[in-house]
Structure 1
């Protein structure tokens, strides 16, 4: 998802009564951060903010600098139990862990050591294989256009070979900027292209349509578009513990398409929408989960995870030779069956 950046100066808040030893500037710094957590986190309603405020005041009562106050802010963030977001300062980084560890196969770990790349290939029975990597470019609009073109051109090259069905491999797609991914796969997604945000009360949110957002989105549109595919074409989507964030949202969107099945293992579980916030006083940046996501039918993914239709344990992922990959082989069996 696109990260929005909000600049929040400590002066935005009124001066609250500070402790005897804590300067007002530090108090405002702390309260600015807590205000952001309360107003923007999807999980804010799960937290007793009175208790958090009391604990933060106690933890930071002797803090005389922003740096000394950071630990109390990080503790407050941890109470959200937000495993997608994080807090970062000039010299510290914190991400909440729910204790669940994800196990990545040797194949994925080996592939992560290589530069991110797109892979297209035609397998047995004219099944097209398309590996879509993550797009870790932040909000760089020039890179958005570059990646949109690369992703789209690769798909068009594959579709020009007239495959009977497709495999979309998202097992190594751990997120990043979703806009180029969705725009590139638009010929496959059809109406499933549309996704929505939903707030903590499970209310579907209106899509942003301001001029700045629309102008930004234009950078993700490829210069060359493939022709839409037949909606009856079968598509197998591969997912696993390496599929995260935008990769999960894309898998969710594809799964709402007819004639589509998911193969592999469950995703990491951060299928949600995030926003970024910067407190200018200390280069203090936090990323928060702000909304749930929903598919084009407005079905909200409350679990924030994507589960395969066909489970395949990914012990022997093979990205060099997809035909020898067990998850690919399972997908090929389904794709080769007569409808």
Structure 2
């Protein structure tokens, strides 16, 4: 849930003072004797914080008005947009370590040259099916579909080899596109919520579900709602490197019957992010929710010892 900054009676004066200082800075800079470039950058900070203050998860109740005033006060005629991107990124990291700013050039590079997906599988000598599920860096539909199709092809082929059980290795899955990962492992998932984003509202994520008219809905990255009929025992390997969307995938697998999480407590980036684009195409990647499992149990600090073991 997005936390509002609450001001007690002793803090209202400081709150008013912050707004007064910010008004003076903006009025002075944008009314007389200040270049249009400086005024434009002040307005850009205002644009960014208009989104940040409305959307971001702020667990430490950092004073965002004061933070905005600080950034605005640094602007002069030598300030570049790249510098402001760096300042905003640092500010977002202070608000929540999972939030960030992605500059326009960096965003383009991610789309045009995504990291090669590391996913592979094999049938082990003891009859178990082993699948290495690496992170998915894709933020566009083309590369996300490539990841999904490749992963689903691996698990379907292994299922047809008649294994005795599954081993899904998420130990190096640092995150990325959770929906591409869930769709790739879709045949393991049944109907209904796999977990929830606990933000302004409680929103489920799922592989497939029925709408109010009883019709199937499923992740658009998946071409079907195929589900493995034989629910073989499943072991999911996690580590301190399993983070973000990797943790969401592990949480989703808690819905699978006869499964076990094995390893060490995960990284602790169990929060949901949303992308908001600014006027120059920079992307505010804001943390807006905390992850919870299908039972609505929240995991604010990752998957700890209480869920490591057979479910």
TM-score (norm 2): 0.71
Aligned counterpart, 1:25: 40
Instruction: Report how far residue 172 of structure 1 moved.
Output: 2.1
Q: Give distance in 2, aligned partners of 1:92 and 1:147.
A: 21
Q: Give the CA deviation at 1:242.
A: 2.6
Asked if structure 2 preserves the Cα contact closer than 8 Å seen for 1:26 and 1:63, the reply is no
CA contact (8 A) 1:121 1:158 kept: yes
Q: CA deviation at 1:76?
A: 3.1
1:7-41 per-residue CA deviation (whole Å, 9 max, x = no partner) reads xxxxxxxxx63536473322211111112211111
- How far residue 114 of structure 1 moved from its aligned partner, in angstroms, is 8.7
Equivalents in 2 of 1:187, 1:144: separation in Å? 17
Q: How does 1:1-339 map to 2 (within 5 A)?
A: 17-19=27-29, 21=34, 23-43=38-58, 46-60=61-75, 65-67=80-82, 69-70=84-85, 72-80=87-95, 82-89=96-103, 116-124=118-126, 126-140=127-141, 142-191=142-191, 194-199=194-199, 203-205=201-203, 217-218=219-220, 220-222=221-223, 227-231=227-231, 233-281=232-280, 283-303=281-301, 305-307=302-304
For 2:178 and 2:52, locate their aligned partners in 1 and report how far apart those are by CA, in whole Å: 24
Quote the offset at 1:146 in angstroms: 2.8
Aligned equivalents of 1:68 and 1:170: distance in 2?
36
Label 1:204 to 1:50 Cα distance change in 2 as closer, same or farther (>3 A): same
Structure 1 unaligned runs (5+)? 1-15, 94-112, 312-330, 335-339
The Cα shift of 1:271 comes to 1.9
Query: Whole-Å Cα distance in 2 between the matches of residues 133 and 70 of structure 1?
Result: 30
Considering fraction of residues, name the structure with more strand: 2
- How far has the Cα of 1:92 moved from its partner? 9.3
How many residue pairs match? The answer is: 267
Q: Distance in 2 between matches of 1:207 and 1:128?
A: 26
Q: CA RMSD in A?
A: 3.7
Change (3 A) 1:67 1:227: closer
Q: Distance in 2 between the 1:292 and 1:248 partners?
A: 12
Query: Is the 8 Å Cα contact of residues 263 and 310 (structure 1) preserved in structure 2?
Result: no
Distance 1:49 1:117, change over 3 A: closer
Is the 1:262–1:308 contact (alpha carbons within 8 Å) kept by the matching residues of 2? no
Q: What's the offset of the Cα at 1:137?
A: 1.7
Give 1:153 shift.
1.6
SS of 1:118's equivalent in the other structure is: strand
Change (3 A) 1:52 1:135: closer
Alpha-carbon distance in 2 for matches of 1:170, 1:131:
7
- Counterpart for residue 19 of structure 2: none
CA distance in 2, matches of 1:173, 1:67: 30
Taking the aligned partners of 1:260 and 1:65, their CA distance within structure 2 comes to: 52
Q: SS of 1:155's equivalent?
A: helix
Measured in 2, the distance between the counterparts of 1:215 and 1:63 equals 52
Q: Is the 8 A contact 1:239 1:267 kept in 2?
A: yes
CA distance, structure 1, for counterparts of residue 81 and residue 146 of structure 2? 39
- Separation of aligned partners in 2, 1:88 and 1:198: 24
Distance 1:309 1:123 in 2: 31
